[in-house]
Structure 1
Amino acid sequence: MNALDFTGRSVLVVGGSSGIGNGIAQAFRAQGAQVNICGTRASAADYSAEEGSDLQGLTYHQLDVSSPSAIEAFAPKLDRLDVLVLAQGAVLYRRGEFAMDGFRKVVEVNLMSLMACATKFHGALRDAKGSLIIVSSTAAYHSTMGNPAYNASKTGAVGLTRTLAEAWAEDGIRVNGIAPGLVDTKMTKVTTANPQRLTGALQRIPLRRLGTPQDMAGAALFLASPLASYIVGQTIVVDGGLIL
């Protein structure tokens, strides 16, 4: 028996149109799952491989998680839901998060929408005795001087993971999380596209390389599988040793 075989299982990845979420979505598809993803653009055709998007074999839905009303109205046709991955994320640079409108914008996406999406699909996960995986960040474990909203929201995501895990375990739902380190996506180009910053970042990572969406996907497959059947409320740090 292959514990990582998800044939016949249904997976929804919010934020699955690019980056870490896309890597996770494609990993589940490769293991036989029927995978639905959400992104902010009108259609799958609006994404390109150059942006780190591979939507082949995935069912796409438009969803703007910065809008509470959009989440409330979101109604994908799913017969069941075995795994829900919340991989949405936002960040503002150039001190944009020190302005209250910027702070609220990032927290809305990175924290508020997690709770909104989790509670929306609680019933479906309960019926399937499914798994919820929340993608946070290693930023939850150290200061990120220029990004107070990103830091606060990702720290909150780790706390939310613990709390929902305890609250929903009696419903047969296992809630866990992944805290990625520096992963090569369009969201981290401010570092990866700057040779000086990249060199400095790599020197702080014991494995001496950036993470990939596929690295994060391995942790997601494990957490959703029977191999992790007794793991509840944990956030696995997947960072190449960055925060050691």
Structure 2
Amino acid sequence: MAENKVAIITGGASGMGLAVTQALVERGDWTVHVIDVSQPRLDEVEKSSSRIKSHKADVTDYDQLASVLPKVFESSHRRNIDFVFANAGVIESQDFYKTQRTDPLPPPDLRSIDVDLKGLILTCYLAQHYFRRSEHKGKGASLILTASCGGFYPSHYSPMYTAAKHGVVGFGRAIANRFLQDGIRVNSICPGIVETNLTGEGGWAGFPPALFTPASDISKKVLRLVDGGAPLTDDFGTTIPANKLYGLALEINKGRIYVSSPTGHIRSIVGRKQL
């Protein structure tokens, strides 16, 4: 019997990461390695299935993260990692605009930058090496980055989060062509409002329920990108051929998807020179 395919999901013990973890497990042919900072959540998710393995690590700490991936790699009899979901994320709790009355000024809350962008970059850096060291040498591997609709549109109440998610979209586009040379498909997802534990208790109270996108919608689109193999048509009617399913930023909102191309449809002279 063939060995399960192997996935690594950061922030996989809650929210969208958990939804993708559960969706992969339900397929029956995946072993999912979940990385998270919450030991109680890790314990709970690992108990739910023998196909889930948990690892406590902070994605902003390179040494912690770098200690997990070789363990995952060596645990696979095929010595393969097939899918990495760089998903861990937080949002700032500090009011960036608040007038401070003390000197020296306290530092701004950069946790969103550290987790959502720096942690994601570290995850991708490690993922590429273990994809290439796998038996498949990267061919057919999938790397998906969690950005946000905030990666396209500004959010005045969370400027650090907005900056980080814009960075994720740009980073995904930047590495996609190079990674594809090894057969690794890189794509970013940009969900709308998903009710996760991103905010504190009551943080979603001000949003109308009609605006929320179920986490299950996100997991379906993520698995669609992981599978590849067939053209993808978005809700504007834009069709992406199967061999072009990389470098995309996929906005996901209430069951609908909208594709932004690897170049972001740049028409400027500078943009054309970057192609």
TM band (smaller chain): 0.7 to 0.9
Counterpart among 217, 220, 237 of residue 218 in structure 1: 220
Partner residue in 2 for 1:77: 72
On the 8 A contact 1:174/1:232 being kept in 2, the answer is: yes
Aligned amino acid, residue 67 of structure 1: D
> In the aligned structure 2, how far is the partner of 1:242 from the partner of 1:170?
27
Partner residue in 2 for 1:107: 113
> In the aligned structure 1, how far is the partner of 2:192 from the partner of 2:253?
4
> In the aligned structure 1, how far is the partner of 2:178 from the partner of 2:147?
19
Partner residue in 2 for 1:38: 35
**Tell me, which stretches of 5 or more residues in structure 1 are unaligned?**
1-5, 48-52, 203-207
- Secondary structure in 2 matching 1:198: coil
Give how far 1:69 is off: 2.8
What is the TM-score with the length of structure 1 in the denominator? Answer: 0.81
> In the aligned structure 2, how far is the partner of 1:88 from the partner of 1:14?
5
Partner residue in 2 for 1:50: none
Give how far 1:198 is off: 2.4
On the 8 A contact 2:94/2:108 being kept in 1, the answer is: no
1:142 aligns with 2:171: no
Partner residue in 1 for 2:265: none
1:161 aligns with 2:199: no
What is the TM-score with the length of structure 2 in the denominator? Answer: 0.73
1:93 aligns with 2:93: yes
- Secondary structure in 2 matching 1:215: helix
**How has the CA–CA distance of structure 1 residues 213 and 162 changed in structure 2, closer, same or farther, with 3 Å as cutoff?**
same
Give how far 1:9 is off: 1.2
C-alpha RMSD over aligned residues: 2.6
Aligned length: 222
Partner residue in 2 for 1:235: 249
- Secondary structure in 1 matching 2:198: helix
Aligned amino acid, residue 89 of structure 1: G
1:123 aligns with 2:129: yes
Give how far 1:160 is off: 0.9
> In the aligned structure 2, how far is the partner of 1:178 from the partner of 1:86?
10
Give how far 1:29 is off: 1.1
Which of structures 1 and 2 has the bigger CA Rg? 2
1:174 aligns with 2:185: yes
On the 8 A contact 1:97/1:147 being kept in 2, the answer is: no
- More deviation in 183-192 or 124-133? 183-192
**Tell me, which stretches of 5 or more residues in structure 2 are unaligned?**
99-105, 231-241, 259-275
Give how far 1:8 is off: 2.5
1:28 aligns with 2:24: yes
- Secondary structure in 2 matching 1:76: helix
Larger proportion of helix: 1
Partner residue in 2 for 1:198: 207
- Secondary structure in 1 matching 2:180: helix
Give how far 1:209 is off: 4.7
Aligned amino acid, residue 216 of structure 1: I
Give how far 1:236 is off: 0.9
Aligned amino acid, residue 239 of structure 1: N
On the 8 A contact 2:10/2:35 being kept in 1, the answer is: yes
